[in-house]
Structure 1
Amino acid sequence: MAQRAATIVGGGIGGLAAAIALHRRGWRVEVLERAPEFTEIGAGISLWPNALRALEVLGLDRTVRALGAVEATGGVRDRRGRWLSRTDNAELARRFGHPLVVLHRADLLRALTEALPADSLRPASEVSAVRDDDHGPVVEHPGGESRPDLVVGADGLRSAVRGALWPDAAGPRYAGYSAWRMVTEPLAAPPSEGAATWGRGERFGYTALPGGRMYCFATASLPAGAEVASGTSQHGELLRRFGDWPEPIPTLLASVPPDAVLRHDLYDLPPLPSFVRGRVALLGDAAHAMTPNLGQGACQALEDAVTLAHCLDGTPDVPAALRSYDLLRRPRTRAISRRSARLGAVGQLAWPPAVLLRDAAARLVPERAALRSMTAVLGWTAPGDQVPAAGTAATDA
């Protein structure tokens, strides 16, 4: 079989992972990224066992684990700092084969780009048009036209590929709350446990990064596009909202450089009727953007990447392979997206009686039951694995 070519639109985690998976199967790949370089800024990322299993397929799990940190325990606290639930990372690893690893997004992007030939990476290459006709797909970009055997749209929430070939698809929908993300300076005595603290319409979480740094994130229920008060920075807004929350939150905020706070309104995508059109497939946020409440956005993109490559392996019929990819990925990602949205709605509750009931219910759930409820998400097994993990069905638990 002649070498096949793939054009991946978008140089984020999912796009690079798809390029690696295809390259290692003999495809000629190019990754078109509109930014002037392949990088991420300012925030951490949680890689759960299913993501590490996908990275294992790519041969990168050990590399990535060496770049990250593994906490002993984590969990959820109430507004007064009392534990509502806790999770033992050793038990997580025992059940699902890998621990939860947290690292900086820039470190993960660097590991992915280094796994690809340098000449396959094409920064400053914003796509101007995508079409799929009788002669195959065409992608127009500053370097000219690409006419590959396969196009992968991995260009995020506001995907140009999705807009071109799914013009009638519903656009992103606002989740009802905004998020802040930040990384502290190295701490002399970083917290030994990670936690998410639930308040009333607000949350604040933190988890360890290598080198004594902590990745922190916060949410608040706000109208889309809401601005902070005039003369107030995003860091100042965080101090106003969370400065009197239980330790270590005030200490962590004091250790964040004032200009290092990122804020984004959170969106997800309504379900698409299909992730594929002819020889074009959507992947990651371009296909199924979800809220970050389960920490599964990048994890699902990694699953997409290795599943796509598996479906294409050994068959010349690209449209048929993409239909198989769609059947495998769409039900699963839809279920996880819905579950993440529900968890976010619970975490953002603001009516005091509802908050009291939520916190009381969380205290009653045993750790083993909580881990068992995550089996449908974390127990995913890559296509082609000999021994499937229990509970991998795409159920909406």
Structure 2
Amino acid sequence: MSSGTNGTALVAGAGVGGLATAIGLRRAGWTVRLLERRTAPEHYGTAFAIHPTAQAALDRLGLGDALRARAVPYRHARIRRPDGRVLAALPLERVERKAGRPELLISRPHLLDALLAELDRLGGADVAYGRPLTDPSTDPRAAAANLVVGADGINSTVRTAHFGSRSGVRAIGTVAWIGIADFETGVYGETWGDGRFFGMTPVEPGRTNWYAAVPEATTAGEVRAAFAGWHDPVPRVLAETDPASWIRYEMRHLHPALPAFTAGGRIALVGDAAHAMTPNLGQGACTALLDAEALTRAVAARGGPAGLPAALRAYDAERRRSAQRVALASRTLHRFVTGRRPALRDALAGLLPG
């Protein structure tokens, strides 16, 4: 383990939430060990949207400059019908006016690289790749730690071991596809059709992040066919992106909501382990970062292991209801966007604040 003075922590999962938690704990003087089921650091995926609140959390973790060095601002986006008619503007300008900074988009590999670099700058942590925490209730590595953090995703073993199986993984019947096109479309936002939707965002110069949700599509050919008659540049994006680079996943969420994010005065959950949500609001990475920063700030404010019960109560009070509201709003938006009453949906979309 890396050197520390205030206590020892075991973090299950070396994704965004786990790495950010390790950074916060290292900054607070804790010894940290990370266990990751993958055999190497993640370098896949497309874009993360980072809301100004999550940017502020990254600033407090010492990562703000690294984020801004590789991110691009997201300022102009529209909601459209498949024929291209604009229904509404996404409230990005209002977000920027209120926060004094724009929403940012960064590729997933760039953000993970920045997290790993900052952890290394702080003296690192003992990262065990290919060594997952499969049974937290009996694993001696967990028993030896003062604090155990479950950042191990939607299928969290820490959650199951300490919170039971009442809150579990639920599929919502929609398959999502994501990819990156090697050109800038200049057309950003989402297009809502009959039971399906397509989105595009900037991600870095010369490239466009895209995502599609199609309940019935199982192959790249079927995805292309589902959007063949949609407005430009949707068909072009799909035609010019190699299907071998597409990522396909079944949309799932955690339901019902957990009654707590902490247990036993030494167990805490962050990110998808605590509140996995549909991707419709683009808040998965943001909520994981906010969780990690709030948890480690609470731990740092209360010193060593003796202060953990109070720190975890403070973390739960700050983050649980907020994160669960975001998760509920994202699931509600998914139902709205994929509904089979397009005329009503289009009319309501026109009422959204710009």
Written as runs of structure 1 = structure 2, the 5 A alignment for 1:254-293 is 254-270=239-255, 271-278=257-264, 279-293=266-280
Deviation at 1:275, TM superposition (A): 1.1
Confirm whether residue 217 of structure 1 aligns to residue 211 of structure 2.
yes
How big is each residue's C-alpha offset from its partner over 1:346-385, in whole Å with a ceiling of 9 and x where there is no partner? Answer: 00012xxx21111122223341xxxxxxxxxxxxxxxxxx
Question: Equivalents in 1 of 2:161, 2:284: separation in Å?
Answer: 23
Output the amino acid matched with 2:261.
Answer: F
TM-score, L = length of structure 1? 0.82
Residue 161 of structure 1 aligns with which residue? 158
Q: Which residue of 1 aligns with 2:13?
A: 10
CA separation of 1:62 and 1:90: change in aligned 2, threshold 3 A: farther
Letter in 1 for 2:282: G
SS in 2 for 1:106: helix
Deviation of residue 76 (structure 1)? 0.8
Whether 1:124 and 2:111 are equivalent positions in the alignment is no
Gaps (5+ residues) in structure 1? 132-137, 229-233, 368-397
Q: Distance in 2 between matches of 1:284 and 1:366?
A: 28
Kindly indicate whether the alpha-carbon contact (under 8 Å) linking 1:220 and 1:348 is maintained by their aligned counterparts in 2. no
Larger relative contact order (Cα-Cα within 8 Å, sequence gap ≥ 6): 2
Which residue of 41, 47, 52 maps to 1:49?
52
- Matched residues in 1 for 2:278 and 2:191: separation? 17
Cα shift at 1:219? 0.7
SS in 1 for 2:73: coil
Match of 2:237 in 1: 252
Pair 1:146–1:123, CA change in 2 (3 A): farther
Q: Does 1:79 align with 2:82?
A: yes
* CA offset digits 1:241-285 (Å, max 9, x no partner): 112210010111122112011111111112111111110101110
Name whichever of 167-176 and 5-14 sits farther off: 167-176
Residues 18-52 of structure 1 show CA distances to partners (whole Å, capped at 9, x for unaligned) of 11111111111111111011114132211111211
- Measured in 2, the distance between the counterparts of 1:119 and 1:291 equals 31
**Cα-Cα RMSD:** 1.9
> How far, CA to CA, are the matches of 1:365 and 1:34 in structure 2?
42
- Deviations along 1:74-120, whole A, 9 cap, x unmatched? 12111211111114645422212331211211111111011113443
Give the conservation status (yes or no) of the 8 Å contact 2:11–2:149. yes
* 1:91-110 matches, cutoff 5 A: 91-110=94-113
In the alignment of these two chains, the number of paired residues is 343
* Structure 1 counterpart of 2:160, one-letter code: G
Structure 2 residue 175 is the aligned partner of structure 1 residue 178:
yes
Matches of 1:88 and 1:162, distance apart in 2: 35
Q: Report the counterpart of residue 63 of structure 1 in structure 2.
A: 66
1:364 to 1:275, Cα distance in 2 relative to 1, 3 A:
closer
Q: Is the 8 A contact 1:35 1:124 kept in 2?
A: yes
**Identity over the aligned pairs, expressed in percent?**
36
- Indicate if the aligned counterparts of 1:139 and 1:146 stay in contact, CA closer than 8 A: yes
> Structure 2 CA distance, aligned partners of 1:130 and 1:72?
43
**Match for 2:309: what amino acid?**
P
CA contact (8 A) 1:52 1:98 kept: no
CA distance in 2, matches of 1:145, 1:198: 46
Shift in Å, 1:165: 1.4
1:213-254, Cα deviation, whole Å (9 max, x unpaired): 1110011234xxxx73xxxxx321221111221001011112
Corresponding residue SS for 2:290: helix
Change in 2 beyond 3 A, CA 1:72/1:276 = closer
Shift of 1:169: 2.5
For 1:314 and 1:111, how far apart are their aligned partners in 2? 25
TM-score, normalised with respect to structure 2 = 0.92
Output the CA distance in 2 between the equivalents of 1:2 and 1:10.
23
Q: Does 1:338 align with 2:335?
A: no
Structure 2 residue runs without a partner (length 5+) = none
SS in structure 2 opposite 1:114?
helix
For the residues of structure 1 that align with 2:352 and 2:18, how far apart are their CA atoms? Answer: 38
Deviation, 1:307, is: 0.6
- Aligned AA (2:112): L
- 2:210 aligned counterpart, secondary structure: strand
Give the equivalent residue in structure 1 for 2:30.
27
Does the 8 Å CA contact 1:208/1:214 hold for their aligned counterparts?
Answer: yes
Distance 1:159 1:208 in 2: 31
Find the aligned partners of 1:99 and 1:77 in 2 and give their Cα distance: 22
Q: Distance in 1 between matches of 2:327 and 2:161?
A: 23
